[in-house]
Chains A and B, each alone.
Chain A
Amino acid sequence: MIKVRSLKKTYGRVQALRGLDMEVPAGAVYGFIGQNGAGKTTTLRILAGLLVPDGGTAEVAGLEIGSHPRALREVVGYMPDFFGVYDDLRVGEYLLFYAAAYGIRGPRAFKLRDDLLELVELGEKREAFVDTLSRGMQQRLCLARALIHDPRVLLLDEPASGLDPLARVEMREILKELSKLGKTILISSHILSELADLCTHVGMITEGRLVRQGPLAELLNGTPVQTIILRCHGPAEAAEKLLAGWPGVEVLRSLPGQVEFRLAGGAAQAAELLKELVLRGVPVTHFAQEDQSLEDTFVQLAREGGLNG
């Protein structure tokens, strides 16, 4: 649904994008992860048609950016990271204003307004002035605004930033609903735990280049390092001694009867280590890989330099 090839963008002397390649399948919820200044917002603004790239190509739903600006606006719904509201408008009027700006008028606009307010759970606030809403409610209203023309692709830049935990959960639920409706969602966020629960695909960007991308499960399982928790019946000195001399092992934490360590390699390396432990008479009661979170993967890649180009 979104294809980006060698995208480049420079601001003065700063190279924000240095040949970004990215592919978002139709219907995917694509988490766009990266440090501050990595180029996430620039990428989203280019895809929304708000910035002109210096090089490379980008396509959304088969429409090349820049060649079909009007068609692109019909296909894309964009929610920026920071946005304002018109303080002299009521919530319902705010949505009708944007509906008119998308050429939607009359009974259809009123129906859309009511449906979208229900979707983002702001039906009761229809007559409230927009500036009286809380930050979370304004975020949800902005999401409703991005959906007013029923776009097939949603570009959401940090939609959960500045929200309290409850508002984040509400936002996540709404995004899950949208995903079920078949929307392709490209979402950038710093809150990786939120993305892990929501995304089907993930792309990691650093210094204007995409360093990892793919289905979430593949990305989590495909990391070259795994964290393993080993428990023994009794003291774990023998296990610690073996682990200290084992290639690719880094002990993270030692507790009485338990060792937590990182092991380079995949399942074969883990099986070999376990076999050796048992052969040496270590009374192993638990030997399991800790669930790899998106945050762990991201931090691991950052530590190993995978996110530094």
Chain B
Amino acid sequence: MAEEVREEQQGQEQEKEAAGQRKGGGAKQRPQEKRFFLRDCWEGLRCGLTPMLGKEMRGRTRGWRSPVLLTVYLGALSAFVLLFLWLNLERLSMIRPQVGLSLYSLFVFSLIMLISFIAPAVAAGAISGERERRTYDLLLVTKASIPGIVLGKWLASVVYLMFLAVAALPVFAVVFLYGGVPPAILGLAFVVCLAAGLGYGAMGLALSALTRRSQAAMIISLVLVFFFIFGIPVITGIIMASNPPGPSPQPLGQPGAAIAGPPWYIFLSPLTAFTSVLPGSGSYGQNWGIPLISELMNMLLNRMVQPEMVTTYRMGYASGYVSSGPGGVAVKPAGLTAWAPWARFTLYQGILIPVSLAAAVLAIAPRKPWPFRRAGKKNN
């Protein structure tokens, strides 16, 4: 009874408070609101992020599925390495110096493909899956803010994939037995993997929020990823082939040899990142990388000669730009064109992530910032 009375009193007090706030107008309320705005934002993010990640990790690592999956995954990778080494060493009865490099190239290519296609496929069910499972409303009524829910869902869907990528590192270490791959390049490969996983994962999540159906979101995101990876280089190639040839590539060091670089959109494809992430695949005259990919990339990027490519060759494996060549002064690319392909791909993924997450937030927010309302489904 006493509890009831206390509740009642609290209720009355709060009602009075709220009434006072309404009567008092916004001027008095604003400073307090501002003071707590950042704290509320942080609390909203935390309430979304922590439980989502915790649930995902708990669900993924529970039972027999996770150890079995990890064992099969690492077992398959190890078997692949052994097979590759057997084919290259045992059958040829000779040690080729580029074995480690070829193995590394294949590894990185497989890893980026794996992450690029699996991350959006997993994220595509993150929000629409909540709708289909009818757990969506229950999440929205909690203290978790919409950006908190979106961030939590996004990280929860890509974090396990990243865990698998890191778990493969010891297998990668085999390439160091043969030399030829500096650790910095391995780091770059992981940056590209991370960028591809996070970017395409965010895109899958946005499609999940926009389409409201997991299957549709998955199909659209896979088609888009396929287009980004393979479609863009092919389309660029076709466009370049149909254009009249520009000035011939000048030898490095010739003053005034500035030639327009490749179009910006080609760097949306992670394949272009290989030109500096995979040693040798972007070099002239040598083909230590993956034959098909490096052929295609060399064909495209050599045609749109940019000093970086020459630099990549001259520096061996490192990406970046050197300003001096054997015959004189090279033309220094300026601005974004001076960026290495991996850096430009990472930059574009960095733009894709906030744009996709913002789209997801707007799609699921009950209150939209624009007046237009879509005719909703009737609920009762």
Which residue numbers of A lie inside 8 Å of B, CB to CB? 1, 11-14, 16, 26-27, 36-42, 45, 48-52, 59, 61-64, 66, 68, 70, 73-74, 76, 78, 80-86, 88-89, 93, 97-98, 100-103, 105, 142, 145, 149, 152, 180-182
Contacts and interface: CB of A to CB of B under 8 A. Distances in A.
Interface string B148-182: 00000000000000000000000000000000000
A52 B8 contact: no
Contacts of A105: 50
B18 interface: yes
B18 A16 contact: no
A101 B143 contact: yes
A61 B21 CA distance: 13
Nearest to A26: B11
B235 to A, nearest CB: 40
Q: Which among B10, B138, B367 has the greatest number of chain A C-beta atoms within 10 A?
A: B138
Nearest to A13: B375
10 contacts: A14-B378, A26-B8, A36-B380, A49-B140, A64-B18, A103-B143, A152-B7, A152-B11, A180-B4, A181-B7
A70 B4 contact: no
A78 B143 CA distance: 13
A4 to B, nearest CB: 15
B367 A66 contact: yes
Interface string B133-144: 111011111111
Contacts of A181: 3-4, 7
Contact of B133 (A13, A61, A84): A84
Q: Report the 6 A-B pairs with minimum CB-CB distance, sorted nearest first.
A: A62-B18, A41-B380, A12-B375, A84-B134, A182-B7, A62-B15
Interface string B2-31: 011001101110111111001000000000
Contacts of B137: 45, 48, 50, 78, 80, 83
A98 B19 CA distance: 31
B18 to A, nearest CB: 3
Interface string B367-380: 10000000111111
Contacts of A81: 380
Contacts of B16: 62
Contact of B51 (A27, A63, A73, A101): A101
A49 B11 contact: no
A52 B379 CA distance: 13
A213 to B, nearest CB: 19
Interface in B40-95: 40, 43-44, 46-48, 50-51, 54-55, 58-59, 62
Contacts of A41: 379-380
A86 B55 contact: yes
A182 B134 contact: no
A247 B27 CA distance: 64
A101 B139 contact: yes
B327 interface: no
Contacts of B378: 11, 14, 16, 37, 42
A61 B12 CA distance: 8
Contacts of B43: 103
Nearest to A179: B4
Contacts of A76: 141
A180 to B, nearest CB: 8
A168 B139 CA distance: 26
B380 A42 contact: yes
B256 interface: no
Contacts of A74: 143
B367 A73 contact: no
A97 B135 contact: no
Given A78-B141, A97-B51, 14 more contacts: A27-B4, A36-B380, A48-B137, A49-B140, A49-B366, A59-B18, A61-B14, A64-B18, A86-B55, A86-B59, A101-B142, A103-B47, A145-B138, A181-B3
Contacts of B7: 27, 152, 181-182
A100 B47 contact: yes
Contact of B138 (A12, A89, A98): A98
B55 A97 contact: yes
Contacts of A82: 134
Contacts of B58: 88-89, 93
A66 B367 CA distance: 8
Contacts of B367: 52, 66
Contacts of B377: 11
A63 B19 CA distance: 9
B135 A86 contact: yes
Contacts of A13: 375
A40 B48 CA distance: 29
A82 B133 CA distance: 10
A73 B142 CA distance: 6
A100 B142 CA distance: 9
Q: Which among B14, B18, B142, B376 has the greatest number of chain A C-beta atoms within 10 A?
A: B142
Given A41-B379, A62-B15, A182 B4 contact: yes
Contact of A61 (B3, B15, B375, B376): B15
Contact of B379 (A27, A42, A180): A42
A98 B54 CA distance: 12
A38 B15 contact: no
Contacts of A50: 137, 140-141, 366
A93 B54 CA distance: 10
Contacts of B46: 103
B366 A83 contact: no
Nearest to B134: A84
A149 B138 CA distance: 13
Contacts of A45: 137, 379
Nearest to B137: A80
A63 B16 CA distance: 10
B128 to A, nearest CB: 13
Nearest to B141: A78
Contact of B143 (A68, A97, A102): A102
Contact of B47 (A14, A78, A101): A101
